[in-house]
Amino acid sequence: MMIENLRWLLQMVRDIDIDGLSIMPYITALRRQEIDNGGFPMTAGELNYVITTKALEYLHNTELNYQTLNDIIGAFEGAKLEFYERVVRPYEGSAIQRNGDVY
């Protein structure tokens, strides 16, 4: 039953289009198609769509089990931490140099 529910969810992400709106909030079917064809995400919602669809593609091409789901969550967490360390932290360090520290 749970596997069938997940298959339904995976298909729903691709198929729902109600008056030009997809299941991803605020992303029109046209923008979704443009992004799916290699277009660049221009909003946080569109970036979320790209990340979500890649995770769903990975899930679709692997076995549905706890390990796979845990691997996906781990990849999200690892990417978040790496992005923070390499992009956010240096940016904040330069902002502290320019504007002063509050600590």
Question: Could you state, in order of their start, the residue ranges of all structural domains in the chain?
Answer: 2-99
Q: Say which residues have a Cβ less than 8 Å from residue 68's Cβ, sequence separation at least 6.
A: 59, 62
What tens digit of pLDDT does each residue of 28-71 get?
889 999 999 999 999 999 999 999 999 999 999 999 999 999 99
Percentage of the chain lying above the pLDDT 70 cut: 76
What's the full length of the chain, in residues?
Answer: 103
Rounded mean pLDDT, 77-98: 97
Which one is predicted more confidently, 67 or 12? 67
CA dist 2 and 74 (Å) reads: 22
